[in-house]
């Protein structure tokens, strides 16, 4: 009976502690990331803590918390805090000395920051944040990411990380614009380098790009003139 009581107390203690962890893992007061993404991240971070003992929390807020150190340095647990401020694309990574002992944490912040800036260009903000957190776990060699369990949790929570379609569309548009501009430039250069020459009884005139365009537009307007049908052509080559 005693044994049962002890086990019951231990189980309730475990449940309450894990509940406490679960509540504090992803702080998303402004609902910047979707509910399913938040749940997926929370369960990934909880499992990471259970397997490695590293407590990583994520704060997603447009209010700037980067100057404050929100970590308790007297803690006996390995702790890290990732702060993401999507409105100014800032990433801050805080960690205590126990966490630092295990990882080269100074370079992590720079890498995460670079990754987040890239991700935000190609993905929706919510997806970019999820990707940034999983990349952080990859950098600290979390067994969850290395074994692919993190991906399984994401899929279970219906989190699909697909690049934004409009970024591809935007790149196509910019390439097309570049092509049109370079073609126009090439035409101008061509017109300048190889002018057409017109001789009549009074003068001879070199026709550059502008005249060339004028000639073709002028002829398009005058296309319907009936006189053209009376014309005879005598063709030759050399």
Partner 1 sequence: MDIGKKIINVINKTQKETGYDIQVYVSQSLLEKDPVKSAKKVFSFYEMNLYPQSILIYINKRNRKFTFICNEEITKKVSRSYFNTLSEHFGEDLLSTRLERALLILLTTLQITLPKKPSLNYEQQDLA
Residue numbers of the site for partner 1 (CB under 8 A)? 194-204, 215-216, 218-219, 222, 225, 227-228, 230-238
Closer Cβ to partner 1, 163 or 218, answer by number: 218
- Min dist CB 89 to partner 1, Å, is 47
Cβ-contact 56, 82 below 8 angstroms: yes
What is the number of other CB atoms lying within 10 angstroms of the CB of residue 219? 11
Residue 134 CB burial class (10 angstroms; 0-12, 13-18, ≥19): buried
- Min dist CB 178 to partner 1, Å, is 21
Q: Among candidates 40, 28, 27, which has minimal Cα distance to 159?
A: 40
Q: CA 27 to CA 61: how far, in whole Å?
A: 8
Closer Cβ to partner 1, 101 or 213, answer by number: 213
- Min dist CB 177 to partner 1, Å, is 22
Closer Cβ to partner 1, 138 or 208, answer by number: 208
Q: CA 44 to CA 131: how far, in whole Å?
A: 12
Closer Cβ to partner 1, 67 or 227, answer by number: 227
Cβ-contact 116, 130 below 8 angstroms: no
- Min dist CB 209 to partner 1, Å, is 12
């Amino acid at each position: 009976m005693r044994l049962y009581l002890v086990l019951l107390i231990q189980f309730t203690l475990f449940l309450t502690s894990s509940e406490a962890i679960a509540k504090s893992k992803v702080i998303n007061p402004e609902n910047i990331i979707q509910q399913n993404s938040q749940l997926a991240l929370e369960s990934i971070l909880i499992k990471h803590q259970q397997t490695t003992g590293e407590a990583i929390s994520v704060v997603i807020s447009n209010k700037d918390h980067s100057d404050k150190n929100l970590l308790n340095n007297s803690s006996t647990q390995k702790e890290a805090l990732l702060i993401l401020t999507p409105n100014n694309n800032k990433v801050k990574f805080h960690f205590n000395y126990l966490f630092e002992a295990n990882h080269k944490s100074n370079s992590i912040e720079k890498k995460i920051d670079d990754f987040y800036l890239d991700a935000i260009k190609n993905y929706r903000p919510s997806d970019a944040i999820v990707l940034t957190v999983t990349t952080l776990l990859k950098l600290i060699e979390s067994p969850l990411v290395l074994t692919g369990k993190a991906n399984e949790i994401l899929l279970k929570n219906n989190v699909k990380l697909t690049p934004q379609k409009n970024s591809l569309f935007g790149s196509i548009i910019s390439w097309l614009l570049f092509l049109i501009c370079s073609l126009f430039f090439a035409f101008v250069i061509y017109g300048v380098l190889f002018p057409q020459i017109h001789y009549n009884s009074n003068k001879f005139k070199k026709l550059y790009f502008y005249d060339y365009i004028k000639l073709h537009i002028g002829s398009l307007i005058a296309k319907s003139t009936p006189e053209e049908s009376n014309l005879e052509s005598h063709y030759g080559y050399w």
